[in-house]
Amino acid sequence: GVNHLGHFTFTKALLPALKRSAPSRVVNISSLANYAFGVSEGLLFDDLDGAKCYNAYERYSQSKLANILHAKYLQHISDQENWNIDAVALHPGIVNSTNIANTSTFRTSLGLLAHPLGIAAVMKDKSKTIAQGAATTVLTALLPQSDLVKGGYYMDCQVHTKYLSPCASDEQMAKRLWDVSEQLTSAALAK
């Protein structure tokens, strides 16, 4: 859905400008949900639209894994083609100060209070201010190219692997996602 295909379509539309202005950078916003709610097989290519089975946690997780795989595969292509475009993905943190997490509609619709991982407690104890939540995004956008881990996954202003799905390093899955995403967005990109 839009959590991945929006990133993909926007990036593809910007590629000519990114190449012209190289060195350039793409920063995908992901989430630790790529790990927390994921399924062991990673992306469910045989049911991308959720028509066969829909679980909100798993679908959100898959979209955030897709953001990571997108950054990794974009980096792979950039390196192969010498585009000099760097790509990363990141988890900005739980920004509680936006107040969305405090609404009963949000908590009820996602079931955050009842989830076995205790997300409500994490939100309360680990939430960030808006500035703290923006810090990793700003860092990855402005870090000197020599200091950036290309294709990396950042959290709390550093490269992170602790809360990263094992599927996030699956090169075949990343290529397949890229190919499927191109097929799904080809009509939009042709305009």
Active site positions, annotated: 54
- The order of strands in the sheet holding 85-91 is 24-29, 85-91, 153-155, 158-159
- Which run of H or E residues covers position 27? strand 24-29
Cβ neighbors of 7 (< 8 A, separation 6 or more) are 28, 29, 67, 70
Q: What is the DSSP letter of 120?
A: H
How far apart CA 9 and CA 44 sit, in angstroms, is: 20
